[in-house]
Amino acid sequence: MVSKEVIVKNSTGLHARPATLLVKKASAFKSDISLEFNGKKANVKSLIGVLSLGVTKDANVTVTASGDDETLAVEEIVKLIASLEE
């Protein structure tokens, strides 16, 4: 299991468009990937799950993955979250 923290820079947080990009990226990996925010955890491959976390701008979130490609999955998801700026 690999996990890493990242700060959400997007002005709207992880709402519809950025959450969709995140789910699309996560779905390309075999590993189970989750996002943790404010004590709540959601599957990154689930759009409803990601949206239900209510992640806002400047939020500190933890990306965790476990599986065959866990290291790459965490790196790619963290990179995507960090690059989402509007």
Q: Which listed residue (4, 9, 12, 15) is catalytic?
A: 15
- DSSP-derived letter for residue 73 is H
First and final C-alpha spacing in the chain: 31
- DSSP-derived letter for residue 83 is H
Q: Which residues pair with 60 in a beta bridge?
A: 7
Q: For residue 7, indicate whether it is catalytic.
A: no
> Quick one: which of 50, 48, 58, 14 has its CA closest to 33?
50
Q: Annotated active-site positions, please?
A: 15
